[in-house]
Each structure stands twice: as C-alpha cells, then as structure tokens.
Amino acid sequence: MTNKTPLYDVHVALGAHMTEFGGYLMPVRYTGEKEEHQAVRQAVGIFDVSHMGEVVLCGPKALEATNWLISNDVQNIENGQAVYGALCKHDGKIVDDIICYRRSAEDVFICVNASNRRKDFAWIQQRLATRYTADEVTAEDDSDQWAQIAVQGPKAIELVSKIYGIDLSSLKKFHFITTPAFIARTGYTGEDGVEIYLPPHEALGLWNKLLDAGKALGIRPCGLSCRDTLRLEAGLCLYGNDIDESTSALEAGLGWTIKWNKAGGFVGKEALLAEKESGLKRHLVGLELLDKGIARHGYALQSEGGREIGAVTSGTISITLQHPIAMAYVTSAFANKGTTVFVDIRGKRVAARVVALPFYRRK
C-alpha cells in the first residue's frame, strides 16, 4: 500500500515527478536535480520529509533505555539536544541510523528512516520487553502524528526565523526548540538549516509560507534526487545503500557515534568491541573517480592487479565538485587515503582515488 504525505497535492501542483519511496509517494524532482541541488548549496531549499518515522520513548527510564538501544548517549546531553547514532543488533550490525531528540529526562523522540519504521518499532518494543516494565518505559509509534519539512541552505535560518518571528541564529547545531514549533538544527544535506516536525494538518500552510517568504531568497522545492546528491557530497550514509543489517557500525565509519563507556553498555557493544580489537576487515570509504563514469551501487572494486577488493554502495556525479564521487566498502589494506582502486563500470575499469569523507564541507 502506498501512502501520501500531507503535501502530496502541492507536489503534483508544482509539477513534481513522483515516485514510490519507503511506502510513500514522494517527489523525485521539481525543476531539475542540478538546480535544486545548487539552490540548497547557495540559497535555500525545502524538502517534504513527512515519510520519516517517529518513535517516542516515555517514562522514568526513557534515557537509560535509549542509551541501551543506541550507540550514542542521551544521558550525557541536555534537554533540547539531539544525537545521531546507530540502532544495532547484538552482532553490532545496523538495524537503522537514527536521530534521538532528548525532549526531557522522561521523553526521547527518535526519528527513524521511512523504510524502517515498522521494523525499528518492533525491534525497540521487543528489546524493551526483555528488560523494562511498562511503568519504566513505553515505546509509541507516533509516525502518523507528524509531518516534517526540512529547510536547508545558507539562507535557511534567516527564512525560518522570519516565518516564526524568532531568532534561530543562536540555536546550536543538533539542538532544538519545541515552542513555538518543534524546530531542530539538524539536516541531511551538509548545509546549515533546520528540520521542522509539525502536525500533518499544518504542513501545507508552512510549505506555502516558506515558498512565498523564500521567493526573494531564491528558494526551491527540492526532491529526493537532489537530497541524495547532497547527502552523498556530505559523506552521509543512506540506509539500504551504505548501511544495512550486514554492515557493522565500525565498518560504516560510525564509530564516532559510539560512547563505549556508557553505564549499562548497549546492544551490540561486545561484538563491536571484539571487532575493534581484532581489526576491521573492510571500511566504508569515499572515492573520487578519475575518469568519466558514474559508479553505482553494487559495482565491483578491483585492485590494480584485477583482484576484487570491494563494492560501491552509493555513487553519483557531484554537482558541487563536478566530478563523479562514490562511497564503497573496500578491504582494509586498500582503505587508506590516496590509494588507487578501479571501479568496474559495466565492463570498463575506471580509476578512482580513496579520499577522506566528506567530499564537501560548508565553509
């Protein structure tokens, strides 16, 4: 069954090319990927991300329970602060990558990937049932109660401040407010900006206000296509492409989200610790292709001598850097910056260089 977000009609009215993604009909692009991508890098772009899922943990042990479920730490942060992390299985592989918003000591709001909403909720419920009573913590799938609009770009803060009549410039990165609205300084594009969570019936009003007030700033509605090229330039993982239940949080380069010394540990800690101690067999790396060609998910990587040493997980042509880029898992021996590898692009060997992530960093 394919669902529609509260903004479906306006996407169609704007001439968006639609597609099915994560169980929802979503806009792929409106005016064109290049134009939308550049709008986010240079001005401001808005994204309908209402398809994302939201799971809420409530109760006196909400923080402790969240800490046990995820790689990162919500106990050592403030109310109004958020963290990015991985939900891991006992073997250290990734169920999902999520952002946890600490609303209070008894209330954690977790944004999960659209495609994983039901899986994540079931996983969380099952884990909690083995360790906590309902009086200690409960989990609710609140996804249907929330629409979400991302406003991203150098002019995003200015625009959203104007619309709400508040000054968001002092809102720190990965912090959020809940009045006058749930506005978080987070994003998936590598630019400054916010993600706004709001009731579905308010989404259309906000979307139109943003487009109207943002006209003078050069605002563009942006689809999933440029969302992908933006996040890839920013070196951010896409679940299903770069991370999944066969990739460990360490291999995927998410070790920085792991707070090893959390009280009570976390699901997957032992397996990840063992992996860390014995050394990783492969690493997710960034690649810059040295010749024409787009490396796509699944394309094989070869060494100079023709040995298969890995595979591409995501690839595109970087609109900002104007050359092809990719992320790939590669055998650890070849994972150092500057190593030359070869991507098999439909039978043609194209040279690529291992580079540090991200490919693009906002100045």
* Residues making contact with other proteins (CB under 8 A): 17, 28-29, 32-34, 225, 229, 292-294, 296, 316-317, 346
**Minimum distance, C-beta of residue 190 to other proteins, in the bound complex (Å):** 17
**Minimum distance, C-beta of residue 315 to other proteins, in the bound complex (Å):** 10
- Strand-pairing partners, residue 99, are 84, 111
Q: State the DSSP string of 266-324.
A: -TTHHHHHHHHHH--SEEEEEEEESSS----TT-EEE-TTS-EEEEEEEEEE-TTT-SE
Tokens coding 229:
């090229």
**Minimum distance, C-beta of residue 227 to other proteins, in the bound complex (Å):** 12
Q: Is 252 or 325 the residue whose CB approaches other proteins more closely?
A: 325
Q: Is 27 or 59 the residue whose CB approaches other proteins more closely?
A: 27
Q: Is 265 or 298 the residue whose CB approaches other proteins more closely?
A: 298
Tokens coding 84:
């990015």
**Minimum distance, C-beta of residue 358 to other proteins, in the bound complex (Å):** 18
Cα–Cα distance measured from residue 177 to residue 103, given in angstroms and rounded to the nearest whole number: 9
Q: Is 143 or 225 the residue whose CB approaches other proteins more closely?
A: 225
Cα–Cα distance measured from residue 303 to residue 292, given in angstroms and rounded to the nearest whole number: 19
- The answer to whether the beta carbons of residues 219 and 43 sit under 8 Å apart is yes
**Minimum distance, C-beta of residue 28 to other proteins, in the bound complex (Å):** 7
**Minimum distance, C-beta of residue 33 to other proteins, in the bound complex (Å):** 5
Q: Is 34 or 209 the residue whose CB approaches other proteins more closely?
A: 34
**Minimum distance, C-beta of residue 66 to other proteins, in the bound complex (Å):** 36
Q: Is 294 or 300 the residue whose CB approaches other proteins more closely?
A: 294
**Exposure string for 244-281, b = 16+ CB within 10 A, e = fewer:** beebbbbbbbbbebbbeebeeebbbbebbeebeeeebe
CA 256, 262, 266: angle at the middle one, nearest 5?
80
**Minimum distance, C-beta of residue 34 to other proteins, in the bound complex (Å):** 5
Tokens coding 206:
């906000």
**Minimum distance, C-beta of residue 47 to other proteins, in the bound complex (Å):** 17
Tokens coding 131:
């360790």
- The answer to whether the beta carbons of residues 256 and 86 sit under 8 Å apart is no
Q: Is 211 or 294 the residue whose CB approaches other proteins more closely?
A: 294
Tokens coding 319:
């609109």
- Dihedral pair phi/psi, residue 356, rounded to 5°: -75, 150
Q: Is 92 or 293 the residue whose CB approaches other proteins more closely?
A: 293
Q: Is 286 or 293 the residue whose CB approaches other proteins more closely?
A: 293
Cα–Cα distance measured from residue 331 to residue 308, given in angstroms and rounded to the nearest whole number: 9
